[in-house]
Structure 1
Amino acid sequence: MKNHGYARRCPAIFCPLQRRRQMFKDKRPGKWILLGSLLVIIMLGLLIFFGMQAQAAKNQPFLPIKEVKTKAGISVWLAEDHSLPIVALRFVFLDAGSANDPDDRQGLARMLSNTMDEGAGKLDSQSFQKALSDNSITLSFNASRDGFGGELKTLKRNEAKAFDLLAMAINEPRFDAEPLARMRDGNLSRIKSSLSEPDWMAARVVNDKAFEGHPYSKNSGGTISSLGRITADDLRNFKKNNLSRDRLLIAVSGDIDQATLESAIDKIFAKLPEKSAGSAIKDTSITNGGKIYLFEQDIPQTFIEVMLPAFDHKDKDYYALELMNYIYGGAGFGSRLMETAREQRGLTYGIYSGTQDYRHTDALNVSTSTKTASTQEMLTIIKDEMVKMQNTPVDAKELQDAKSYITGSMPLALSSTDKIAAMILQLRVDSLPIDYLDHFADYINAVTPEDILRVSKRILKPELATTVLVGKPENIQNVITVKELPNVQ
């Protein structure tokens, strides 16, 4: 190896290798004592420094969020971050979703979300979409049972154009005949193709039975007949009656200052009606508990949906519920349901549970599929694992693993500017405090095995389960046959 002379040009104080050699050559005790003392001082300094850094980090918010009030009185939660030249905005109008669709216009909120970015102001559909594409702007709208929302993501340099386009879409949507027909045809095609999907069929039946008599039982994607009835005037009226400032929640993250944000928000939303003319949605609970419904299909598997009543984050046991669900079936691989049904007995490729937090009810659901002959065995596993959770405390390792995953995965939900905006908006939807994320890990880590046992006894009650089967299973007792899919035609 060639010697490029680095050793000669490297003074001893800056060259670790040369400095170490000199130290070992020097035999004077006094110098060793001095060096030892110096090292101790350096180590103590480093310990103090890193301790101060850790304490400073501990005292910093998990995610710095502040509330901004515009001149029009609109509230926005902002996570200002100038490290990347990106701005993300998320918003939702609560109680403005598909639950508000008229019975003969199911799919209205969905169609509104499909068409509001298909032309606005003086820009037709093609021109509007070209303006988004030319400026690298992402804009979309969405409709759930509980709300109507949207998201905007833009580069800092194009923020003015992005805000202009969003303001046009919110205040001056065109609802031209061509995009309206195109979106209607797309939704009809989606429904018709879904008619061959057993999991979609199971979802339709379980929604109809678990939410019987409530607007949640409607088909948010529309029916074949209702989509054909929806007109541009229907879209305008739904927007006028439901998209109002009293229902509006907004979250923003990224490279934007407060003054620019205030001006943009008022430009986009201040012209909307102050109060909603839409009807209020009543609370409900899961119905038809203890019943098993079968929609027969000549297929080699049975698709299974189970729904149970649950509760939301306002309940003192909410964090125990989240951990209980993770252990029972929410974890996927590693959960009790997956371990028993797949790993031990080989009955399925996957089985999962999850909590569903709607605005007007709350539920825990289980979803899976299995070969026809093992349908009853699978139902027994789902029930038996519930009973075990009720009667036997989880062990310390199982609980700690669940806690570690849930708290450890939190930063992954904040890995991009738009994900941060989505997280902030969810805090607002759930009416959580602005510093909630600072305490989330403490809430999770405070849960005990006794808490899990108590919640299991509250929630995992097989006698309250609304169960739906799609397939052709045999020897299932007390089955109620469903003759046709609800809210499809």
Structure 2
Amino acid sequence: MRLILALFAFVVLCAPAAQARDALLNIQEVTSSGGLKAWLVEDHSVPVISLQFAFKGIGTAQDAPDKQGLARMASNTMDEGAGDLDSQAFQKELRDKVIELHFNASRDNFGAELKTLSKNRARAFALMKLALTHPRFDQEAIDRMRRANQSRIRSSITDPDWNAARVLNDVAFAGHPYAQNSGGTISSLESITADDLRAFTKELSKDRLRVSVAGDISAQELSILLDELFGDLPATSSSVEDVPDLTLTNQGGVFVYPRNIPQTVINIMQPGIDQSDPDYQSAQVMNFILGSSGFGSRLTKEIREKRGLTYGIYSYFTDMDHADTLSVTTSTKNESVSEMLPLIKAEFEKMAQSPIAQKELEDAKSYLIGSLPLSLSSSDKITGLMLSIQLSDLPINYLDQREEKIKATTIDDVKRIAARLLDPSKFITVLVGQPGEIEGAQSVESLPNVE
């Protein structure tokens, strides 16, 4: 899963509303009488409320090997009936009241998103609490979601991009829970029971809770709501295991999953950088120039525009709780793979060894600073951004720091961080297709964590 987080800001408070204000958004920290906290951006111009929450450290990485897909199955079934409402009745109430409610599971976290009209907020919050604290897990709903997930896996087997991601997870995260299939395997999904799902939800505890809210609600109202929604949760989790930090495995390796298709999908991964690192924003500037800026990037200019070897090539950072990565994704004709791989390596080496141009620097800084406010076009985007910050344990003034550090980034900074990070000798390369003879390549005969 790719988590590319754009991040937010935060304030401290002793009463329901915070005393400080963020430069970009008017973000408040709200504390309930029961000690629960949330970040809030009030906006009373539109009668809509968006609420997102997550439990940090309780995600698919907690799935037992024989229960892969458990957290994802919980996210699929918690809104399929709760309390006295079966699946049809629960979903009908959501539709009738124009309420959007979805649970989600990532490698590291489990949470939900709620969006409602202000006039329906009482019922929306009641339904969300019911789904969180009293999900039914009726057998019919479990069986239906199990079949849907198994069907998705069988369909994905034919997708070369999915194949590449599946193999890359296995070889780069070997022996670690991140190597598991977050969506489950055919057999592991078959083994998941209602009791498994109930046991999972009992681990959702207040000490792991992060909440963000935006829209037509005041800090005082939210401070009361927090205890109403989450006050009945257990204080702590009883049996959540610590997930170890990960050093990427098989660095320098090339792995081929043969498929009889005309193009080869190329996925490359190497170690990345944590968002808390002082050089993170300089690394973002560097990567914008290298491969994340689309048609303006060096990878695109060199490999697509000059040589016509691909329709698209992109590089991106992914920050997870226990691993940080830098990846490149692209594809090319089978017969062009041996030409393309050295070109990617050469661009990494050039970035690490030679200074960038002043215009490249200014264009990157201008885009990275200017694009963030434009991305905050709705309450749910704002809540998602705030939640990302909380889950990354970043400070409340992160946005101010982010802009300051991007503005302060120099040509020397970019060269320094590129030399520190970019290392083709650490590439973990996965090829799906018929790439021909690639020196040192190992063949992968079957997809891992599928059946």
Shared fold, TM over 0.5: yes
CA deviation map 1:17-59 (0-9, x unaligned)? xxxxxxxxxxxxxxxxxxxxxxxxxxxxxxxxxxxxxxxxxx9
Q: 2:28 aligns with which of 66, 72, 79?
A: 66
The answer for the alignment partner of 1:143 in structure 2 is 105
Inter-partner Cα distance in structure 2 for 1:474 and 1:422: 43
Question: AA paired with 1:312?
Answer: D
Q: 1:269 aligns with which of 206, 230, 237?
A: 230
Matched, 1:436 2:388: no
Matched, 1:222 2:204: no
The answer for the alignment partner of 1:38 in structure 2 is none
The answer for the alignment partner of 1:363 in structure 2 is 325
Q: 2:141 aligns with which of 179, 195, 202?
A: 179
The answer for the alignment partner of 1:398 in structure 2 is 360
Inter-partner Cα distance in structure 2 for 1:456 and 1:438: 24
Inter-partner Cα distance in structure 2 for 1:168 and 1:153: 16
Q: 1:350 aligns with which of 293, 301, 312?
A: 312
Q: Aligned-pair distance for 1:60?
A: 7.1
For normalisation by structure 2, the TM-score amounts to 0.94
Inter-partner Cα distance in structure 1 for 2:374 and 2:76: 29
Q: 2:163 aligns with which of 201, 226, 232?
A: 201
Q: What's the % identity of the aligned pairs? A: 53
The answer for the alignment partner of 1:380 in structure 2 is 342
Structure 2 gap segments, 5+ residues each: 1-20
Inter-partner Cα distance in structure 2 for 1:109 and 1:333: 38
Q: 1:427 aligns with which of 377, 389, 394?
A: 389
The answer for the alignment partner of 2:436 in structure 1 is 474
Inter-partner Cα distance in structure 1 for 2:394 and 2:353: 33
Question: AA paired with 1:363?
Answer: T
SS in 2 for 1:305: strand
Matched, 1:463 2:417: no
Alignment of 1:94-109 (within 5 A): 94-109=56-71
Q: Is the 8 A contact 1:392 1:453 kept in 2?
A: yes
Inter-partner Cα distance in structure 2 for 1:436 and 1:266: 27
Inter-partner Cα distance in structure 1 for 2:418 and 2:401: 24
CA deviation map 1:113-138 (0-9, x unaligned)? 00010000111001101111111111
CA deviation map 1:387-433 (0-9, x unaligned)? 11011111110011011111110112211111111111111112222
Inter-partner Cα distance in structure 1 for 2:136 and 2:101: 16
CA deviation map 1:234-258 (0-9, x unaligned)? 00011112x1111110001111012
For normalisation by structure 1, the TM-score amounts to 0.87
The answer to which structure, 1 or 2, has the higher relative contact order (CA under 8 A, 6+ apart) is: 2
SS in 2 for 1:290: coil
Matched, 1:294 2:256: yes
Matched, 1:259 2:259: no
Deviates more, 1:206-215 or 1:425-434: 425-434
CA deviation map 1:190-215 (0-9, x unaligned)? 00001110110000000001111110
Q: 1:235 aligns with which of 188, 193, 197?
A: 197
Inter-partner Cα distance in structure 1 for 2:242 and 2:229: 25
Greater C-alpha Rg: 1
Q: Is the 8 A contact 2:266 2:331 kept in 1?
A: yes
Q: Is the 8 A contact 1:66 1:434 kept in 2?
A: no
SS in 2 for 1:333: helix
Inter-partner Cα distance in structure 1 for 2:223 and 2:288: 40
CA deviation map 1:307-353 (0-9, x unaligned)? 01011122111111111111111111111111111111111111111
Inter-partner Cα distance in structure 1 for 2:446 and 2:437: 21
Q: Aligned-pair distance for 1:61?
A: 2.1
Inter-partner Cα distance in structure 1 for 2:417 and 2:166: 28
SS in 2 for 1:252: strand
Q: Is the 8 A contact 1:413 1:423 kept in 2?
A: no
Q: Is the 8 A contact 1:285 1:362 kept in 2?
A: no
Inter-partner Cα distance in structure 2 for 1:122 and 1:206: 44
Q: Is the 8 A contact 2:276 2:394 kept in 1?
A: no
Inter-partner Cα distance in structure 2 for 1:84 and 1:61: 22
SS in 2 for 1:389: helix
CA deviation map 1:260-297 (0-9, x unaligned)? 21222211111111111211111112111001011111
Structure 1 gap segments, 5+ residues each: 1-58
